[in-house]
Structure 1
């Protein structure tokens, strides 16, 4: 029988689930969690039975996923769900639980992404907030990398617009310009407060825009007196300004702002931000 025979894959998947359930039942941490979260334990068992079987068949990191789902996962999701009153615990929709567990199978070693998946699953298990969790949110997380997931939190948690600038070379006559740097933020080191350069930021922000999480505008700007005081001191701007300019061109920055969209607000709530 060929190694990729569908029947063999299905049998292997069933065996895997049996191992996961047995390991979870023998795990003292899970037993302790079940003492306080009986309803949650039942929900998790149903989720494993109903969802993990088909996911295991397509999991390329088979051994690592098996270790995670039989070890850390039951305790981690129990901790996320511990604040849900028992009467409000519901079985998450398969359209959310299935893809979420699949995402966890591939990213459980990346804390920023794993946190998003676990929080989304816990939201879907809470009858009071389950409607906030949307299947599209799983796809959004899948299209973020770990650094994306870390940095987008700032934008999604901010209740106000964030100042952002675009550096461009204004050509002689002032009618045309050439963009040199897109989507420049005032990134700083949390310890020293020194400016931090990250050449990946413009592409990340374009990705957040594409996913509908934030919007960026350069035809409007914030009016606070110090909102853009940092811009002309950024190393990117200083470096480009010192570059020899031809034909009387001048390097300037265009003020703008970035803010979360309504979709971004709902996504933030669903992943616990």
Structure 2
């Protein structure tokens, strides 16, 4: 190729580089680089957390006898490892993950580690994990009353709550937490009997009383046995 031809090719390439489509691609690449920088910024953070991983694995090792160690199922191990990237070891949620991992690699308790359990733990808030910790120990009675006006039930209110609400960071969300735990099929607030009518001095019903228990479901009991500690120092 001659010098003149080279100059023509160089001019054509330069022209292409200035074209809108090429500049657009360049902008995309530039923006993608920015996205990548933010998306993978946590890698350095994770590398710096080597000691935290070591502590987590040491905790799990302390729960399983060496002679009982077996390979865990990927459906259980994978989600646990993914989740522990974001969970602090000292939290009760972190304790649940370590308990479940210990079950999953212990041949004497491996059958208790259900594949659904990691996903359930992933969806728990710290307060919900605390609720489960206490529900593993016992059921808690809750009573409500409502008014009956023009054949309509209104003004439902809690009149008695046995659950230790002071243990929760956001105690006012107890009903929302219980609804969420119910959607996960592990716990709920269920009536223990039909509503009790409240009547005035003339015998006319003016309201009613609801008596329920906050408790684990049957599946929740299996979850609690596999994941929830019997003792947690912070509580």
Report whether the alignment pairs 1:121 with 2:101.
yes
Give the one of 65, 68, 75 matched to 2:46. 65
Distance 1:183 1:93 in 2: 46
Post-superposition offset of 1:123: 1.2
> 2:187 aligns to what?
214
Q: Deviation per CA, 1:71-125: give whole Å up to 9, x if none.
A: 1222332233324222211122111111111111122277121111111111111
Q: Deviation per CA, 1:50-89: give whole Å up to 9, x if none.
A: xxxxxxxx88743333333x11222332233324222211
Report whether the alignment pairs 1:157 with 2:137.
yes
**TM-score, normalized by length of structure 1?**
0.58
Distance 2:51 2:87 in 1: 15
Structure 1 residues 60 and 270: alpha-carbon distance in aligned structure 2, compared to 1, 3 A threshold: farther
> 2:71 aligns to what?
91
> 2:162 aligns to what?
186
> 2:118 aligns to what?
138
> 2:23 aligns to what?
none
Distance 2:132 2:72 in 1: 26
> What secondary structure does 2:210 align onto?
strand
**TM-score, normalized by length of structure 2?**
0.66
Distance 2:43 2:145 in 1: 46
4+ aligned runs moved over 6 Å, structure 1: none
- Unmatched tracts of structure 1, length 5 or more: 10-57, 222-247
Distance 1:123 1:78 in 2: 14
> What secondary structure does 2:220 align onto?
helix
Post-superposition offset of 1:131: 1.4
> 1:80 aligns to what?
60
Are the counterparts in 2 of residues 112 and 146 from structure 1 also a CA contact under 8 Å?
A: yes
Are the counterparts in 1 of residues 89 and 95 from structure 2 also a CA contact under 8 Å?
A: no
Q: Deviation per CA, 1:173-231: give whole Å up to 9, x if none.
A: xx54125347963244779xxxx98211000000111111124322528xxxxxxxxxx
> What secondary structure does 1:105 align onto?
coil
Distance 2:140 2:225 in 1: 19
> Considering only CA atoms, is the larger Rg found in Structure 1 or Structure 2?
2
- Unmatched tracts of structure 2, length 5 or more: 1-25, 195-203, 230-235
> What secondary structure does 2:85 align onto?
helix
